[in-house]
Amino acid sequence: MQATLTQTISFEGVGLHSGKPVRMDVHPAAARFGIWFKRTDVSDADNMVRAIYSAVGAKPLCSELTNDDGVGVSTVEHIMAALAGCGIHNALIELDGPEVPIMDGCSADFVRAIVEVGARKQAARLYAIEVLSPVMVEENGAMAMLTPAGGLEIDFHIEFPDAAIGRQHMALDMRNGTFVRELSDSRTFCRKADIDMMHDNGLALGGTYHNAVVVDGDDVLSPGGLRHVDEAVRHKMLDALGDLALAGAPILGRYTGVRAGHAMTNKLLRKLFANPSSYRFVPCTPEQAARLPGVGVRKADLALVA
């Protein structure tokens, strides 16, 4: 069955790229509502923005949603990953600014709040998107692919010149609270050499050494170092779950990413839905539902989250 939150949860912080302060309230929503963002600071245009792959624009380094009136919400991937990873299908997310707060650079704060209040089952059947045949996109040495699988699996490969990151690979089956335990506390990261370039392009204006892992060659410059030796690839998997959640329903399939980012995952979803023979919507059986992210999440899992 579908699920929503038992009560509203609230967050305050700054946008990673805008640098602007923002308050975000995540409210329970009715069955079949889906995930929607509401810009409470916008009164002269449609302020409702649906969390759906077709609303994603071309903004670099994050996923930004925009409605037909040009009202947008950016950096949605971390809250989308938290909702998907905790099994929340319906929610209204109100913000008084243009960007989701970055918090400490991952989904941990969102996950902790969701798990603490808990989920409420709703009187509506949960449908999933079953991948029927392989779909792949490639670009400049990067690749993203969806293939059939009984649940959601994520397999990710990255490679960076900085030795502090280097070459990393991880593959996980996302059932039984895996996201909460293994990925939710892994932070966004960047190379020190790229910070000036991002600032020159109006990006990462709210970034600090406390809400992102900054590396420079062999060195990790952020206080406290890494939370995981392979924190970088874990964060890329977190991002992938958040971007895949924009499909509009849970996915039954295996996602493989090689140096992939937000834009490539969005292109993959667009290619999937452009070919009706490559997928189908299915009502989840109890066995299928048990293989989805969010099922099996326990409060005890929070002890493993930084």
What is the Cα–Cα distance from 161 to 259, expressed in whole angstroms? 13
Q: Give the residue numbers marked as catalytic.
A: 262
Is residue 199 marked as binding? no
**CA nearest 26: which of 51, 56, 59?**
51
| Residue among 70, 108, 129 nearest 248 (CA) | 129
CA angle at residue 238 from 237 to 240, to 5 degrees? 60
* Dihedrals phi, psi of 138, to nearest 5 degrees: -135, 145
- Compute the distance between CA of residue 273 and CA of residue 248 in angstroms, rounded to an integer: 11
DSSP type of residue 247 = G
78 is in an annotated binding site: yes
Cβ neighbourhood burial of 195 (10 Å; 0-12, 13-18, 19+): middle
Contacts 24+ apart (CB under 8 A), 283-291: 283/125, 283/126, 283/127, 284/125, 284/126, 284/127, 284/128, 284/250, 288/128, 288/150, 288/151, 288/252, 289/126, 290/175, 291/150, 291/151, 291/152, 291/173, 291/175, 291/252
- Positions at the binding site for Zn(2+): 78, 235, 239
Binding-site annotation: residue ranges:
78, 235, 239
